[in-house]
């Protein structure tokens, strides 16, 4: 049997090495920045492009906004989120009416719509309110807890009769002076800025408090203490409480305020000056004349 001769024609062999472009692509793919660009950058860009293209239409934008608002309203208007009652604590009847008129709250209303901080500030703008607390309680109740200002004095001014608290803050306006009740009375320009000093003077006037009519601020510098029967104690600008104590000590020793004395002037420090009434001056003059006449007869 004749042996088969080998085919001497060259057969192509496969080169395992990558081509030039394959090599470059593989090297590029090994770069972290390129991989991030392909995996994240390109999809992100395509997504942004598609979203921008889709939203670049007024009708689509309006539809999306309406759908979102409708979904939000559907959640907010659920019964468990609705506030249907308002409860006011710590306020007088008149203040309750003022609060109901002042607050722009039309119940029932979703608690997501209520601005509790704005409501609190609105309440504290009312003159009689010193402090307010606003919160929502279970059961859909809007709770308003009010701390009212305590009336301290009634201030008579050109603008009318104002009720002030101990800090001089306006509390209420009165139409008639007979409605002030047991409130101390102050008057004069600038008296509202010195309420605390006036209260200290009223407290110091305890021995004659049954005769105390009120205090008058003079020239926005000092105080006059007004008593019944038109009597006045003129206090100095500096140390008015100490001067009033001296006047009361003088009254305790000499019963000065029970006599025909119109004013006790303490503006000159330790030298008080008394001004007598007209009848008292006439009587004093008569007694002086009688005394001089008696001296004249003795000399004769």
Q: Are residues 213 and 273 in the same domain?
A: yes
Q: Residue 274's domain spans which residues?
A: 194-282
Where do we find the tokens 């006036």? 198
* pLDDT for the residue numbered 103: 85
Q: What is residue 41's predicted lDDT score, i.e. its pLDDT?
A: 81
d(CA 151, CA 92): 13
Q: Please provide the average confidence, as pLDDT, over all residues in the chain.
A: 81
Q: What is the pLDDT of residues 110-123, one digit of tens each?
A: 888 888 899 999 99
pTM of the model: 0.63
Kindly state the helix (H) or strand (E) to which residue 161 belongs, with its residue range. Answer: strand 160-164
In a domain, 253, yes or no: yes
What percent of the chain has pLDDT above 70?
Answer: 84
CATH number at residue 247: 3.40.50.11690
* Residue 277 falls in which region: left (phi positive, over 0), alpha (psi -120 to 50) or beta: beta
pLDDT at 164: 93
**What does DSSP assign to residue 237?**
S
The percentage of the chain sitting over the pLDDT mark of 90, rounded to a whole number, equals 28
pLDDT of 70 higher than 90: no
* pLDDT confidence band for 37 (50 / 70 / 90): confident
- Supply the pLDDT for residue 212: 92
The answer as to whether 132 is a domain residue is: yes
Contact in structure between 72 and 81 (CB atoms under 8 Å): no
> Is 242 among the domain residues?
yes
Counting the structural domains of the chain, the total is 2
Instruction: Render pLDDT for 151-179 as a digit per residue (tens, 0 to 9).
Output: 999 999 888 899 999 999 999 888 888 88
89 SS3 class: strand
Q: Looking at residue 128, which CATH number applies to its domain?
A: 3.10.20.310
> For residue 52, is it within any domain?
no
pLDDT at 297: 53
95 assigned to some structural domain: yes
Asked whether the beta carbons of 186 and 154 are under 8 A apart, the reply is: yes
**Domain annotation covers residue 106:** yes
The contacts of residue 201 (CB under 8 Å, 6+ apart) are: 215, 223, 225, 235, 240, 241, 244
Q: How far is Cα 266 from Cα 258, in angstroms, rounded to an integer? A: 18
245-269 per-position pLDDT tens digit: 988 888 888 888 887 788 888 988 7
Q: What average pLDDT score do residues 54-72 get?
A: 76
pLDDT higher for 2 or 193? 193
């Amino acid at each position: 049997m004749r042996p088969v001769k080998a085919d001497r024609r060259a057969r192509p062999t496969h080169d395992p090495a990558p081509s030039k472009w394959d090599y470059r692509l593989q090297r590029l793919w090994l770069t972290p920045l390129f991989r991030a660009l392909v995996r994240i950058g390109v999809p992100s860009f395509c997504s942004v492009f598609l979203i921008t293209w889709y939203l670049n239409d007024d009708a689509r934008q309006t539809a999306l906004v309406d759908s979102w608002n409708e979904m939000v309203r559907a959640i907010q208007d659920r019964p468990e989120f609705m506030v249907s009652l308002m409860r006011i604590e710590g306020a007088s009847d008149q203040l309750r009416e003022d609060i109901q008129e002042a607050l722009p709250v039309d119940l029932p209303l979703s608690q997501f719509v209520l601005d509790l901080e704005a409501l609190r500030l609105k309440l504290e703008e009312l003159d009689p309110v010193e402090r307010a607390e606003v919160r929502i309680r279970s059961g859909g109740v809007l709770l308003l807890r009010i701390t009212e200002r305590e009336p301290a004095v009634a201030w008579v001014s050109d603008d009318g009769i104002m009720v002030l608290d101990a800090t001089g803050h306006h509390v209420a306006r009165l139409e008639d002076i007979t409605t002030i009740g047991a409130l101390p009375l102050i008057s004069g320009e600038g008296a509202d800025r010195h309420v605390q000093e006036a209260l200290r003077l009223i407290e110091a006037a305890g021995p004659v408090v049954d005769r105390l009519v009120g205090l008058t601020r003079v020239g926005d510098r000092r105080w006059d203490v007004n008593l019944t029967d038109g009597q006045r104690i003129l206090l100095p600008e500096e140390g008015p409480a100490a001067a009033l104590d001296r006047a009361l000590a003088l009254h305790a020793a000499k019963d000065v305020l029970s006599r025909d004395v119109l004013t006790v002037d303490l503006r000159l420090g330790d030298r008080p000056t008394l001004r007598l009434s007209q009848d008292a001056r006439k009587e004093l003059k008569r007694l002086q004349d009688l005394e001089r006449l008696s001296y004249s007869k003795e000399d004769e």
